[in-house]
Structure 1
Amino acid sequence: MYNDENNLYHYTYRKDGSETTEKADARATVDAQINAYQAQGGYHQPVQEMKPVKKNRVGLKITALALCCALLGGAVGGGIVWGASRSGNEATVNMSGRPATSVSINQVDGKTLMTDAEVYAANVNSVVSINTTGTSGTNIFGQPVQTASAGSGFILTTDGFIVTNHHVIDGANAVKVTLYNGDTYDATIIGGDEDYDIAVIKVNAADLQPVTLGKSDTLNVGDHVLAIGNPLGELTFSMSGGMVSSVNRAINVDGTPFNMIQTDTSINPGNSGGPLFNQYGEVVGIVSAKYSSYSNESVEGLGFAIPINDVLAMIQDIMTNGYVTNKPYLGITGGSMSEQMAAQYRYDITEGVFVYSVEEGSAADKAGLRMGDVITKVGDTEITTMEDLTAVKKQYAAGDTTTFAVDRQGEPITVEVTWDSLPAEQQTSAQENQQESQQNDSNSYGGGTTNPYDLFNYFFGGGYNGSSLKKAA
């Protein structure tokens, strides 16, 4: 307790307020010094009463409360801004409760209109992936060069007959077929026809799912069509869709004319040989070609398929006999006329097919065609080049009879021609001769073995070099 009201700096813990003697003596000494100083006239500093300082706790609390409120308000505001910024930057994901659409596997009956998904489900097990290996010449060390290619096809019968393009299996030493379920089979080449770009192969299997064939002649421009195949040899069993852009479109592929279905369906290397489906799930065409460029111009949306009606009888013929038995055969060696030939050898006609030779006993021989004749018309079709004759031949079968318009040394005549059937050995020989002619720029039509340029020079006594002649199938 304080023991002196005038001296706030002295405090004792004794209950009676007394101090120890030492402290009392020290206090007396200090008081005596002060009194002596004052008596000598020194400056007198008034002694102020010192009271305990009481802190302003209310103001401090108010200040602390204000700071807390500021901090709390800042935190709340920052949280709101942060939340707003997050809600603005992040997309809100709305999850649909709609169940997945189930695709029913319908039986293709030619009457039920199907969705694209239903067409795929109904036919994907009938489409196959085809991979081939072969050889192409030799390298600098004399070793054979191995080649590989890929294509598509479709199952025609439950016991393993498969249809594809001729160019898919041409030159192949081994053919492997893969089904949608992953099963792989070694395939045997039954036969094919290069003129129509069709081929039939077979695998040893049973209970396969075949396609249903439709009628390509019922297609109209604008009809929706679908292709399933093996684009790029890797994207197996892919489906693409589009429309029929044109029907009965005549195109020329490597010098061979074809009658095609034109479509804007996406078609790529590897799709060749695959099926083209209509909206009923029926096969109406065999995917065969795509134009990626034309006259050095890049193009898109130009795909082609062989009409199934045009080749069905031939496919069945190949399945039975290994080749097209009713394939028409004329039996001539010919080439396209040109202005150069007409001027050099004094012909009045500049277009048509010049007959270099006639095979003895052939349809041309029986009809009376001769070397030097120029064929200008077959039936109702004008013939200006060898490609025209090759194309018109596809309209006929062995045994059909038609009229040929011919220019013979300036005189127009007509002859009746009954088409022969191309024998199997002749078909093989013709294919071999055609491959050889592609390498040697020679020309043969109907299995002739004599150089047509020599025949022309022998007949006319000139020196024509054959520069305007076109290769014939």
Structure 2
Amino acid sequence: MKNKVILATVMFLVVISSGIFLLNGNNPDEKTVYENSQSLASDRENIITKTVATVSPAVVGINVTEVRQVNNPFFNPFFNDPFFQQFFGDQSYSQEVKGLGSGFLISKDGYILTNDHVAGNAKKITVTLTDGRHYEAKVVGTDKVSDVCLLKIDENKLPFLKLGNSNDIIIGEWSIALGNPFGLFDVNDQPTVTVGVISAKNMNLEPVDERFYLNMIQTDAAINGGNSGGPLVNSVGDVIGMNTIIYSTGSGKGSIGLGFAIPINKVKKIVDELNLKGEIDRNFYTGLGLHDIDEKIAAYFKLQNARGVIVNSVMKNSPAEKAGFKSGDVILALGDFKVSNRNNLLGILQEYRTGQTVEFTVLRDEEKIKFEMELERRK
């Protein structure tokens, strides 16, 4: 009996010691697990983090002061009677409004890109760099229609971003949005970063305050208030767009994964013109009276669908009359752009300049025909 107890004790100690042996790191797989964890830690520095570190110094925060005319809400002469209003005139007053946004350096000598709705009408513009320095900026040129603004600060040897090619973006590739949401740049002297993918391209949006947004890049990288004017870059750090507009479910809801950027190829074209002339020459006219096609119009003209634009008038001696337009013509396309509605057509026209010739594709009497119209200067 005693021998059995001794044997059992010895076996118990062997089992315990074996457990200790295993727990004390002599498991041949334990070193591999540790090495794997170290490898994962080193892999945290990937192409995204390296790109962010590279491009961040060229991103800037922008603060503006804008003077706006505001109607006096307390002025109501005789319940807005037009007869009495003619004696009192306009009772609006000037008010300074503070705003903020983002931008990015595109040259070592201080040229900065941002949105027109950020700085285009500003009385005072202050640019903050990632090293904490502040500069007063001036507007070199701005274009409300395309929502592009070119600024300049007096400094040399600045970091700047490479402008890429937005024509070769791939749906599903990484996209990185950098900027100054809610003014956080001013507190921390660094941009914030959100990462997503290119969700879609060539997206046409409805105009906002006479600004037209065609062929936009859609991303699910979160874009919030204050991000406007910041860069959207690809995984290697090339700027592919300028963050401009978001769709939200309502006030205060923030980003819902529907952000849109102006393609950088379009921005480059605008910047070249602004640098050269300080403005974009769109002072042309067509002489066309236009109306959106609805179901009634489609039925009357026996059109297949209620989509497009119909000509309801042609001005005498206008470019439209010279080109051969008639009332009842249905405009299907301008150049390579398909026309979906009147706003879309007006937006496409903004891509052209005074004196250029535009090719229209028109449906007349169930036959497709083409017209060429010269965009004459407005008289």
Contact 2:291–2:312 (8 Å) recurs in 1? no
Counterpart of 2:62 in structure 1: which amino acid? I
The aligned residue for residue 273 of structure 1 is 229
Of 311, 315, 320, 1:364 maps to 320
Counterpart of 2:58 in structure 1: which amino acid? S
Q: Which runs of 5+ in 1 are unaligned?
A: 1-97, 103-112, 423-446, 449-473
Partners in 2 of 1:132 and 1:262 — Cα distance? 27
The aligned residue for residue 318 of structure 1 is 274
Of 368, 371, 375, 1:416 maps to 371
Counterpart of 1:220 in structure 2: which amino acid? I
The aligned residue for residue 120 of structure 1 is 52
Are 2:135 and 1:180 aligned?
no
Partners in 2 of 1:233 and 1:290 — Cα distance? 17
The aligned residue for residue 286 of structure 2 is 331
How far 1:164 sits from its partner (Å)? 0.9
Are 2:192 and 1:238 aligned?
yes
The aligned residue for residue 134 of structure 1 is 66
The aligned residue for residue 197 of structure 1 is 147
Counterpart of 1:129 in structure 2: which amino acid? G
How far 1:324 sits from its partner (Å)? 2.6
Are 2:250 and 1:288 aligned?
no
RMSD after superposition: 3.6
Are 2:98 and 1:148 aligned?
yes
**Alignment CA distance shift 1:308-1:387 (3 Å):** same
Counterpart of 1:245 in structure 2: which amino acid? S
Q: For 1:306-327, what per-residue CA distance to the aligned partner results, in whole angstroms no more than 9, with x for missing partners?
A: 11123312211111111234x5
Q: For 1:378-429, what per-residue CA distance to the aligned partner results, in whole angstroms no more than 9, with x for missing partners?
A: 346554521231243356566344134165xx7968453244376xxxxxxx
Q: Which structure has more strand as a fraction of its residues? A: 2
Partners in 2 of 1:152 and 1:359 — Cα distance? 47
How far 1:359 sits from its partner (Å)? 8.0
Contact 2:143–2:280 (8 Å) recurs in 1? yes
**Alignment CA distance shift 1:335-1:160 (3 Å):** same
**Alignment CA distance shift 1:364-1:333 (3 Å):** closer
Counterpart of 2:106 in structure 1: which amino acid? L
Of 161, 166, 169, 1:216 maps to 166
How far 1:305 sits from its partner (Å)? 1.0
How far 1:209 sits from its partner (Å)? 1.8
How far 1:331 sits from its partner (Å)? 2.6
**Alignment CA distance shift 1:137-1:320 (3 Å):** same
Partners in 1 of 2:145 and 2:332 — Cα distance? 21
Are 2:345 and 1:389 aligned?
yes
**Residues matched between the structures, number:** 308
Alignment of 1:449-460 (within 5 A): none
Partners in 2 of 1:334 and 1:172 — Cα distance? 35
Counterpart of 1:197 in structure 2: which amino acid? D
The aligned residue for residue 354 of structure 1 is 311
**Alignment CA distance shift 1:396-1:118 (3 Å):** same
SS at match of 1:168: helix
How far 1:275 sits from its partner (Å)? 0.4
SS at match of 1:234: helix
Q: TM-score, normalised by structure 2?
A: 0.69
The aligned residue for residue 121 of structure 2 is 171
Of 304, 307, 312, 2:260 maps to 304
Contact 1:114–1:280 (8 Å) recurs in 2? no
Counterpart of 2:309 in structure 1: which amino acid? G
Partners in 2 of 1:125 and 1:273 — Cα distance? 15
Of 196, 203, 209, 1:249 maps to 203
**Alignment CA distance shift 1:328-1:221 (3 Å):** farther
The aligned residue for residue 220 of structure 2 is 264
Partners in 2 of 1:268 and 1:241 — Cα distance? 13
**Alignment CA distance shift 1:339-1:154 (3 Å):** closer
Partners in 1 of 2:369 and 2:285 — Cα distance? 16
Contact 1:260–1:305 (8 Å) recurs in 2? yes
Q: TM-score, normalised by structure 1?
A: 0.57
Are 2:161 and 1:206 aligned?
no
SS at match of 2:214: strand
